[in-house]
Amino acid sequence: MKKKRMTCSEFFTLSWKKTAIALMIWIGSVFFHNMIYAFFRGIFKIELDEPVFFCIAVIIIPGYFLISIVYSLIKRKGRLK
């Protein structure tokens, strides 16, 4: 079975399914960031901040939404002409 590669157009064009998946990833990232922080603070008494999930929640997911919205609007505007 041959895997189909996702093109830029398929990746950045918004749909309800992609929006729901990105929203679930964002909620999960916020949850895991807070849980890892609470775990290390409660169990090991260390003030450790976990940056990976924080970066996903604050930079990557909002950046994906911004790029996808702009790309979808440009694609739709170009198709209407």
Q: Please give the tally of structural domains in the chain.
A: 1
DSSP state of 13: S
In a domain, 10, yes or no: no
Which pLDDT value is given to residue 1?
63
**Is 3 among the domain residues?**
no
Any domain includes 67: yes
In angstroms and rounded to an integer, the radius of gyration of the C-alpha atoms of the chain is 18
Residue 9 lies in a domain: no
Is 7 within a domain?
Answer: no
Residue pLDDT, tens place only, 29-64: 999 888 888 888 888 887 777 788 888 889 999 999
Residue at 48: amino acid letter? L
On the CB side of 61, CA atoms within 13 Å amount to 20
Quote the domain boundaries for residue 39.
Answer: 16-80
11, part of any domain: no
- Is 5 within a domain? no
The residues near 57 (Cβ < 8 Å, ≥ 6 apart) are 26, 29, 30, 33
Q: Is pLDDT above 90 for 24?
A: yes
Answer yes or no: is pLDDT of 7 > 80.
no
Residue 67 has pLDDT above 70, yes or no: yes
Q: Is residue 8 in some structural domain?
A: no
